[in-house]
Structure 1
Amino acid sequence: MNKPRKPSVPPEQVTDRLFATERRPEDFRFDASVARVFPDMIRRSVPGYTTIIPMIEVITEQYAQPGSHCYDLGCSLGASTLAMRHGIPHRDCILVGVDNSEAMIERCEHYIALDDNNLPVTLRCEDILDTELSSASVTTLNFTLQFVDPDQRAGLLTRIAKATRPGGVLILSEKIRFETESEQAIQTRLHHEFKRANGYSDLEISQKRTAIEQVLIPETLAAHKERLQAAGFDQVLIWYQCFNFVSMLAIKANTPDTD
């Protein structure tokens, strides 16, 4: 299916200045103030985000199965939801976006309405740990699992794997930590330089890091791969990495032919 690629979310002009002035330390929350600046925040904070989103469309096009469910768990403003929507080649697929932030879902609804693709999208404002999953061919966790309590991650992935059809996939994008302190220091420094190159000040970088470090808990690639395989996925591969941000593809093997 060859068709022109287009931005999945309309450009947002609101600049992220949430941490530009000194503020009282508090945990990061996906509230209305974050939702308002989120497109600018994530573009300037996550290396490779503008590459990952259109590639989710490409992957979805390859793996979406007729009559299946496609889930975007932790959909925020719907960038990956819309990428999946444009990638799904089957009109009988059911696309579901889930987020527990009302502010995010409200803006996501706006972007869905502006999109010119008419494949229906169901949006749910709920905890992804409570979302019912079934007959999935493509599921996306795009920088979402890192915000889930570490003790609950294995259970969530196991439920996703059990709900995934043979030949289906999970797209998992995460900020990771590294096995050695030396590599962690290098990759962190490069990430901070990426933010500085995108106009963030040292104060903004420091205050954002303080706000998010108790909320976003990264893990090593080895831990992710081991847990995905234990959950029931047969193959796990890295299809993208930039500094300490990666995206993985967890694949459920096709059922062997018994004839």
Structure 2
Amino acid sequence: MRQPPDRLFAQPLSQVPDFAFNEDVVRVFPDMIKRSVPGYPTIVENIGVLASQFAQPHSVLYDLGSSLGAVTQALRRHVQIEDCRVIAVDNSSAMVERCREYLHAQDSMFQELLPVEVIEADILNLEFQPTSLVALNFTLQFIEPPQRLILLSRIHQALLPGGALILSEKLRFEDSEQHNLLSDLHIAFKRANGYSELEIAQKRSAIEKVMIPDSLEQHRERLLAAGFSKVVPWFQCLNFASLIALP
């Protein structure tokens, strides 16, 4: 099924509203994320590959901030562990509804997939079960900064020995020249994917107050403060990166 193109910011807006994962965004989200986040398909598919190395029997795998369930689908494709299941969590009712539809379609295409439960909830209020793998794929950057350490500490407490957290985020950089260079290259990436200058400017205005990126150093320090023993960057494309944090 052909996905509708992202044209949400193609026309001039008298007032650009704060970005929200509403029905309009859900409708075009696959196109939006593919054209906005360099390396996104590689990150998603390889989260499934990495998860297969950490997933343990009789445990839960979490996809926190699951949106349309791309990571959940990757987990189900790659993880084949006895008595293991996925819990996908998102606070957007529109995302949760569409995610369930996509996962039902995946069920009809593949056999013997991991069972999955899709929950509409705030991950800050989630009661974590013992888990061997947690994916936070471009989710932490939408959490209020004072809440980030609290969430990561709770995830660390729930992780089983030998498990892992996979954290993907947009990065800012302490060095201003590096930050400006990679920001400019990210804009070039968007232009190359068909976004106009107006779309780029209006999207930036919409998202700048609700998505607050950290530097790699901040992520590392916070993860260590949350109790993780080791933080290993495994992927970076321009100003987007993914890390493995071990308990």
**TM-score for the superposition, normalised by structure 1:** 0.92
Q: Which residue of 2 aligns with 1:98?
A: 89
CA contact (8 A) 1:12 1:39 kept: no
- Bigger mean CA offset, 109-118 vs 152-161: 109-118
Whichever residue aligns with residue 61 of structure 1, its letter is S
Question: Is residue 129 of structure 1 aligned with residue 134 of structure 2?
Answer: no
Distance in structure 2 (CA, Å) of the matches to 1:133 and 1:211: 32
**Residues 83-113 of structure 1: CA deviation (Å, up to 9, x unaligned):** 1112222130121000000000011001100
The structure 2 residue matched to 1:173, chosen from 168, 171, 174, is: 168
The structure 1 residue matched to 2:3, chosen from 7, 10, 13, is: 13
Task: List aligned pairs for 1:183-222, cutoff 5 A.
Answer: 183-222=178-217
**Residues 137-182 of structure 1: CA deviation (Å, up to 9, x unaligned):** 0000000000000000000000000000011000000001000211
Distance in structure 2 (CA, Å) of the matches to 1:111 and 1:91: 24
The structure 2 residue matched to 1:59, chosen from 50, 65, 78, is: 50
Distance in structure 1 (CA, Å) of the matches to 2:219 and 2:47: 19
Q: Which residue of 2 aligns with 1:155?
A: 150
State how many pairs are aligned.
Answer: 242
Whichever residue aligns with residue 231 of structure 1, its letter is A
Distance in structure 2 (CA, Å) of the matches to 1:139 and 1:213: 26
Distance in structure 1 (CA, Å) of the matches to 2:77 and 2:189: 29
Structure 2 gaps of 5+ residues are: none
CA RMSD of aligned residues (A): 0.9
CA contact (8 A) 1:57 1:83 kept: yes
**TM-score for the superposition, normalised by structure 2:** 0.96
Distance in structure 2 (CA, Å) of the matches to 1:166 and 1:134: 14
CA contact (8 A) 1:177 1:218 kept: yes
Question: Is residue 107 of structure 1 aligned with residue 107 of structure 2?
Answer: no
* Cα offset, 1:134, TM superposition: 2.1
Distance in structure 1 (CA, Å) of the matches to 2:119 and 2:82: 20
CA contact (8 A) 1:12 1:40 kept: no
Task: List aligned pairs for 1:27-42, cutoff 5 A.
Answer: 27-42=18-33
Distance in structure 2 (CA, Å) of the matches to 1:81 and 1:132: 19
Whichever residue aligns with residue 195 of structure 1, its letter is K
Alignment CA distance shift 1:199-1:89 (3 Å):
same
Structure 1 gaps of 5+ residues are: 1-10, 253-259
* Identity within the alignment, %: 53
Question: Is residue 238 of structure 1 aligned with residue 229 of structure 2?
Answer: no
SS at match of 1:92: coil
Whichever residue aligns with residue 155 of structure 2, its letter is I
Distance in structure 1 (CA, Å) of the matches to 2:156 and 2:186: 32
Question: Is residue 45 of structure 1 aligned with residue 36 of structure 2?
Answer: yes
Whichever residue aligns with residue 102 of structure 2, its letter is Y
Distance in structure 2 (CA, Å) of the matches to 1:52 and 1:241: 9
CA contact (8 A) 1:53 1:80 kept: yes
CA contact (8 A) 1:138 1:169 kept: yes
The structure 2 residue matched to 1:226, chosen from 218, 221, 228, is: 221
* Cα offset, 1:12, TM superposition: 4.5
Whichever residue aligns with residue 93 of structure 2, its letter is E
